[in-house]
């Protein structure tokens, strides 16, 4: 391309930023530091001799040069990925999770500790390209994700089994009127506004929070904010607010903040239903059966009776 020896890691960083809209989110998806992403983009811009992004507070936008370069960057990566796939060790099972802090990644850490010889590669996804998308599109073999999404039903070549019900707690700042409560009832949530920027992308996550809002009346806002939409920034903003709340999953590693209060939600407890999804060609993979057995053995089917999950998900999680 252009006679230049381009660094594929830099090209991949460029594409990730264009998809996620932020250097920080791209770093999370790629599993590297934000500083490393910035260095890769600086190197790529230096090689090309043009700026690819306009840096703004809280986001990054493609320049005209960047917009013209993007389709070529995607094509370059697709070719490279196809070449890698052609020689990849077929024993490796590619498993997509939502991010290093989310419940599915934590569950996989337990599995890998118990199966240290497993040939599994974890692929971190982001808000705009979810684990569900990745398995449907064939970019990974297996994914932890919500199986149901009314806008994009699972195709016939993808199988789903229940994996985990991530019970949601309410996170509020110490100055919030709910801060001194030891629990909040589901029916009380309608009085508040929850900031969930990760639901601001068209995905099964957005659909979940839309259904939650319809059920309990809580207002869901997904607005972008100068601090970004990373979990740490969400917690920082909510900690300083007397009106906003957000949600933290029981199995999710929530960034610690001295001014955040975590409050259980009861009668019922809302939970994000994570399924284990795999593509039909993966069914005979030697790494899949032990993973299914472990996940099925950990799943607590008895808990679903006390939880709110979207009605279309219930059949899968009660069978």
Structure confidence by residue, pLDDT tens digits, 22-68: 888 888 777 788 888 999 999 999 999 999 999 877 678 889 999 89
CB distance 28 to 4 below 8 Å: no
- 213/211 Cα distance (integer angstroms): 5
**Residue 87 confidence (pLDDT) above 60:** no
Structure confidence by residue, pLDDT tens digits, 117-147: 999 999 988 777 789 988 998 889 999 999 9
Query: Based on the number of CB atoms within 10 Å of its own CB, is 232 exposed (0-12), middle (13-18) or buried (19 or more)?
Result: middle
pLDDT of residue 59: 76
The secondary element (H helix, E strand) that includes residue 183 is none
- 169/130 Cα distance (integer angstroms): 22
Say what the pTM is.
0.76
Length of the chain: 319
Place of tokens 């064939």: 138
In terms of average pLDDT, the best of 198-202, 223-227, 250-254, 266-270 is 266-270
SS (H, E, C) 204-247: HHHHHHHHHHHHHCCEEECCCCCCCCCHHHHHHHHHCCCCEEEE
Structure confidence by residue, pLDDT tens digits, 144-174: 999 999 898 999 999 999 999 999 999 999 9
């Amino acid at each position: 391309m252009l006679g230049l020896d381009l660094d594929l890691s830099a090209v991949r960083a460029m594409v990730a930023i264009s998809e996620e809209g932020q250097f920080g989110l791209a770093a999370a998806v790629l599993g590297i530091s934000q500083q490393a992403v910035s260095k890769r983009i600086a190197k790529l811009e230096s090689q090309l001799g043009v700026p690819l992004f306009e840096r703004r507070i809280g986001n990054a936008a493609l320049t005209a040069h960047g917009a013209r370069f993007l389709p070529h960057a995607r094509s370059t990566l697709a070719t490279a990925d196809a070449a890698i796939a052609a020689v990849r060790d077929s024993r490796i099972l590619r498993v997509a999770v939502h991010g290093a802090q989310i419940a599915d990644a934590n569950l996989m850490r337990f599995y890998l500790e118990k199966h240290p010889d497993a040939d599994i590669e974890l692929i971190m996804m982001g808000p705009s390209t979810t684990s569900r998308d990745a398995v449907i599109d064939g970019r990974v073999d297996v994914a932890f994700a919500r199986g149901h999404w009314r806008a994009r039903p699972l195709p016939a070549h993808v199988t789903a089994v229940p994996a985990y019900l991530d019970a949601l707690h309410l996170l509020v700042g110490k100055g919030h009127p709910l801060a001194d409560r030891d629990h909040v009832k589901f029916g009380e949530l309608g009085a508040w506004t929850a900031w969930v920027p990760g639901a601001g992308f068209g995905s099964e996550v957005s659909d979940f929070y839309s259904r939650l809002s319809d059920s309990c009346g809580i207002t869901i806002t997904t607005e972008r904010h100068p601090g970004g939409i990373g979990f740490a920034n969400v917690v920082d903003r909510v900690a300083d607010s007397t009106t906003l709340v957000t949600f933290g999953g029981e199995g999710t590693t929530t960034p610690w903040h001295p001014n955040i209060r975590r409050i259980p939600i009861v009668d019922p407890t809302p939970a994000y239903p994570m399924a284990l999804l795999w593509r039909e060609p993966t069914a005979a993979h030697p790494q899949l059966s032990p993973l299914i057995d472990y996940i099925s053995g950990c799943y607590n089917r008895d808990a679903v009776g006390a939880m709110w999950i979207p009605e279309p998900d219930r059949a899968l999680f009660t069978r």
